[in-house]
Amino acid sequence: MNKAVTNAPRPAQPATEPLRVTLVVGSNRHGRFGPVVARWLLDHLQGRDDLVAEVVDVADVDLPTSFEPTPEATAALSGVTPKLAGADAFVVLTPEYNHSFPAGLKNLVDWHFGEWRAKPVALVSYGGLAGGLRAVEHLRQVFAELHAVTVRDTVSFHNAGASFDDAGTLRDPFGPDAAAKTMLDQLVWWGLALREARTERPYAG
């Protein structure tokens, strides 16, 4: 006997909370170009309904390289660690120095461990001819060791200084804007999936 078919509407799905994303600005070099790219990135993050963004700037964080928990280090961490711990996902912005990423960014990463675990990381780079992509590949290895997941697509600015005008506006936004959307779409997918997984099955490593 056939069961009756009903066209009753399915119950409404609960609204998904936006992902909390921390943008890490990875350069503290004098005269750095990073804030120009960071502003462009932040516009993209804030323009999405599925993301809520805040910023950690390496230049504002005075952490020693000794990893000694001095009162000064503890004070510096008090303004940074909660932004990393509370994030569902990260966007890390890096230049390329001598075929790799800056020491200040590595120091910030190394002061933390559990804050990165089982969370996705999107990588954005800038530089000369290589566009910072060698720094990105090094960061993938670092974040893999920390049990984080780097998303496949990136955004890179080759000859970055010439890509933006004096007001910090991209001269030709078509390609970078499309790349940013693809990257952030991937970050949202991984962010939602891993947030649900961490809730249902805490990551043991």
Q: Is the pLDDT of residue 5 over 70?
A: no
Position 9 scores a pLDDT of 52
pLDDT for 175 beyond 60: yes
Say whether 109 sits in a helix, a strand or coil.
helix
The mean pLDDT of the chain is: 93
- pLDDT per residue over 98-114, tens digit each? 999 999 999 999 999 99
* CA neighbor of 89 nearest in space, from 148, 169, 154: 148
What is the average per-residue pLDDT within 29-58? 97
Angle between helices 133-145 and 103-110 (to 10 degrees): 10
pLDDT at residue 12 above 70? no
| Residue 121 near residue 153 (C-beta atoms within 8 A) | no
Q: Is the pTM higher than 0.95?
A: no
Residue 14 has pLDDT above 70, yes or no: no
Q: Hey, is 103 helix, strand or coil?
A: helix
DSSP-based three-state secondary structure for 118: coil
**Structure confidence at residue 2 as a pLDDT band (50, 70, 90):** very low
3-state helix, strand, coil in the chain (%, to 5): 40, 20, 40
Residue range 23-43, pLDDT digits in tens = 999 999 999 999 999 999 999
pLDDT for 205 equals: 85
Alpha-carbon distance of 90 to 100, in angstroms, equals: 19
Q: Give the pLDDT band of residue 16 (cuts 50, 70, 90).
A: confident
What is the pLDDT, as a whole number, of residue 190?
Answer: 98
pLDDT tens digits, one per residue of 80-94: 999 999 999 999 999
Residue 8 has pLDDT above 80, yes or no: no
